Structure 1
Amino acid sequence: MKLSRRSAALLAASALVLGGCGSTGNDAGESKSSAGGKVTVEFWNIWTTDPLKTYGAQAIKDFQAAHPNITIKSVPYENEAFKAKLTTLTQSGKAPDIFQTWGGGVLKQQVDAGLVKDLTSDAGSWLGTFTDAALSAYQVDGKTYALPEDIGMVGFWYNKALFKKAGIAEPPATWSALIDDVKKLKAAGVTPIALAGKDKWPGHYYWAYLAMRIGGLDALKQAGDSKDFTGPAFVQAGQKLKELADLQPFQKGYLGATYGDPGGQAATMGDGKAAMELMGQWAPAVQNDAGKGLGDDLGFFPFPAVDGGAGAVTDAFGGGGGYAIGADAPAEAIEFLKFLTDSAEHRKAVGTGGVLPVLKGEEDAVTDPNLSVVAKNLAGATGFQLYLDQAFPPAVGQEVNDSVAQLIGGTKTPEQVAQAITETAKSE
């Protein structure tokens, strides 16, 4: 079975807010109110595996105890089933009272269809408690349409022992230094990078980050608005990635490798058979599950700067999870959302290892050392870019993944990648 970024993260308790197998529940749209002023709020979520399954059940119990007139009807779905069910429901012109969202292009489509509530005013009293990076994926045209529950970032996870074997004293701070380190690792007989070529989405991280470092976040925003990805930042990103791919830095058989399966990217890294992987904050747990795990030999560094580039090395790339409110939801749905994102309650969720901080000053609630490193990087982020296969409309995101995979495999040029993505964007 093909393992997606989110379903792969299910292998780890400390992964993104993602789901396993859950019950199906009923479709939204049924009566929410009953006699006596009691209100039922339907809550679609992906709290189907621990630690969030157990946390969520307790959170709902605590909320209902404090609000005896409100019943939270939890409707949990496995991640992919959730997306399919939600798509079917929204196509009918309805939305659950409160539901999981990853922001970006799909949320914008829901906003354009009038299916979600503008929370800018309703949540105005506590919007300032969130970090700018955490909120960014849920804002459309300056307005906020969902609130974050989780955030994460992609960066390089590396094997300290293999770096030492190759004579590399510290992680590379620039792209040119990364290229030099790849050469040193190969010379030492070490596979520099593990990559799940078959899954495609891990490869798009490289192209996206390079475009960010070269053109800055504005280049990506402008391309999204103009639907034109043929600008210098995107072509140069392809050229830099081709420079890396031409060194043949990936493990043998990477084109057929998946992310979390035996022998895949995570296992290659976790078994010490590659020096680096570019992956999200769930990487250590999946390495431990798919492979042996690296223990104290595992380190993390942010994606390097590109010499002469306009982007800051402190700009982060990643994603997370949040909650939107259906346009026709009762006011009590917002009350529940406020409860979930209140500092006292959200710290409990962070403490489980199931989510990372989205509130200012919450980093100390992270107990896992690997997740703590990511949380500190996010706390200092000067900007944030959502995964391109989520930030843009679904067809555009798929084209990014497909074209970048072809670039890495040597069957598309940097210019052809930029043109293909542009053509798809303009056809949307």
Structure 2
Amino acid sequence: MCRRSAALLAVSALILGGCSSTGSEGGGGGSSAAGKVTVEWWNIGTTEPLKTVYATAVKDFEALHPNITIKNVATENDAYKSKLTTLTQSGKAPQIFHTWGGGVLKQQVDAGLVKDISSEAAPWLSTFTDASLAAYQFDGKTYAVPYDIGMVGFWYNKALFKKAGIEEPPGTWTQLLDDVKKLKAAGITPIALAGKAKWPGHYYWAYLAMRIGGLPALQKAGTDKNFNTPDFVAAGQKVKELADLQPFQRGFLGADYDKPGGQAATMGNGKAAMELMGQWAPAVEKSSGKGIGDDLGFFPFPAVEGGKGTVTEAFGGGGGFALGADAPPEAVEFLKFLTSDAEHRKAVGSGGVLPVLKGEEDAATDPNLSVVAKNLASATGFQLYLDQAYPPAVGQEVNDSVAELIAGTKTPDQVTQAITETAKSE
């Protein structure tokens, strides 16, 4: 499902206490009778179809393991990150928790909060695709199992494009800006954006940096801790160029992502022509709004004329589940069940996630997910979300500074300066 700004995750977790008969929040789960175990599972499955997929999985697992109770702790995306951040400041980790991998998970691992599952999960790790596992592996060890993978791109309303006289999706940045102008002239809100959430805005800056500087520029910046380069400044200038056209819905600065009146609902109710979002977008648009059915289309982020990057380089990530350092064997058993071929196919078939297991591509029957899968299959490069790829503080600064850039309170140069200062202080 949706993601979002993993920078807020920092080192996060459930407080693992002693045995608890209730498995209450903050407790480690325990037993009220010999052999009875309660395991808490923190996830972000609050919207359909994953809400039902997760609830059904818990019921089915408990039927097979009557001695194990799974406490399904589902929390809305942004609230989840904040809550988890607060909990991890105690220096502990959840028994099972949603993770987006990358730099955030690595920091949790370095803090000794996450279980190395390389040995316990070895019997089924080979069933995952290499691409889906990459974000959760460090120094040859595995610290989480993937549940979803995908990419960010533009989801658009075909009917609104047609109404504005746009015959096909834009292939270049200049064409995108021209289409924004055409949509506005037709009285249509061009783009839905969750300004309050911040992380959706960083997609624009990140993708533009990729298209202008190429993947090596982002990798080098992460290593050198320097974003004060012409390519990153140019990315900010392009974001400002878009923002100056006032393409977003009224009140976007106060809009959340998946709440009523937020970005997904605006798109799902046909009140905006586009949103730049991950593969979970169609499901959340339908859950938060009405959904626009066959009018929904997808196109990759456009190329930037003269840029070093290419339109076949994808930006995105996935979602998986990690275990706290003190998680019991029963937690591993649940993860094995959740990511088994038979069980995961249900999630893929629901349209909630994309395949992460080898050979399950045929389970992706949803046409929207299929088009994303095809784009991923032909991708010539892949960049993890910046608020995951970089350390949490750096990722958070990216989100914050880009949000200020879009709001008009920071310049492109001030954005790169702020991110660089944060990176060097890490």
TM-score category, normalised to shorter length: 0.7 to 0.9
Q: Aligned to 1:129, what secondary structure does the other structure show?
A: coil
Task: Indicate the larger mover: 239-248 or 75-84.
Answer: 75-84
1:173 corresponds to which of 171, 174, 178: 171
Amino acid at match of 2:71: S
Aligned length: 407
Cα gap change, 1:413 to 1:349, in 2 (>3 Å): same
Number of the residue aligned with 2:218: 220
Number of the residue aligned with 2:313: 315
Number of the residue aligned with 2:71: 74
Task: Indicate the larger mover: 87-96 or 212-221.
Answer: 87-96
Amino acid at match of 1:203: G
* 1:33-112 to 2 correspondences below 5 Å: 38=35, 40=37, 42-46=39-43, 47=45, 51-60=49-58, 62-63=60-61, 71-79=68-76, 83=81, 86-87=84-85, 90-112=88-110
Deviation at 1:148, TM superposition (A): 0.7
CA distance in 2, matches of 1:263, 1:64: 37
Task: Indicate the larger mover: 250-259 or 316-325.
Answer: 250-259
Q: Give the TM-score taking structure 2 as reference length.
A: 0.81
CA distance in 2, matches of 1:279, 1:249: 16
Number of the residue aligned with 2:26: 27
Percent identity over the alignment?
75
CA distance in 1, matches of 2:251, 2:191: 12
Q: Aligned to 1:422, what secondary structure does the other structure show?
A: helix
CA distance in 1, matches of 2:285, 2:307: 32
Structure 1, gaps ≥5 residues long: 8-22
Number of the residue aligned with 2:16: none
CA distance in 1, matches of 2:311, 2:300: 7
Number of the residue aligned with 2:386: 388
Task: Indicate the larger mover: 205-214 or 23-32.
Answer: 23-32
CA distance in 2, matches of 1:202, 1:93: 29
Q: CA RMSD in A?
A: 3.4
Number of the residue aligned with 1:144: 142
Amino acid at match of 1:403: S
2:158 corresponds to which of 138, 157, 160: 160
Cα gap change, 1:129 to 1:308, in 2 (>3 Å): farther
Cα gap change, 1:360 to 1:308, in 2 (>3 Å): farther
State whether residues 117 and 145 of structure 1, in contact with CA within 8 Å, keep that contact through their aligned partners in structure 2. yes
Cα gap change, 1:39 to 1:314, in 2 (>3 Å): farther
Cα gap change, 1:216 to 1:133, in 2 (>3 Å): farther
Amino acid at match of 1:423: E
State whether residues 28 and 94 of structure 1, in contact with CA within 8 Å, keep that contact through their aligned partners in structure 2. no
Deviation at 1:75, TM superposition (A): 4.8
Number of the residue aligned with 2:190: 192
Q: Aligned to 2:424, what secondary structure does the other structure show?
A: helix
* 1:406-417 to 2 correspondences below 5 Å: 406-417=404-415
Q: Give the TM-score taking structure 1 as reference length.
A: 0.81
Q: Aligned to 1:134, what secondary structure does the other structure show?
A: helix
CA distance in 1, matches of 2:254, 2:60: 47
* Per-residue deviation, residues 109-140 of structure 1 (Å, max 9, x unmatched): 21101222333454445434323442233233
Q: Aligned to 2:41, what secondary structure does the other structure show?
A: strand
Deviation at 1:72, TM superposition (A): 4.6
Deviation at 1:45, TM superposition (A): 2.5
Cα gap change, 1:165 to 1:96, in 2 (>3 Å): closer
CA distance in 1, matches of 2:365, 2:75: 27
Deviation at 1:271, TM superposition (A): 4.2
CA distance in 1, matches of 2:290, 2:40: 38
CA distance in 2, matches of 1:94, 1:87: 11
Q: Aligned to 2:214, what secondary structure does the other structure show?
A: helix
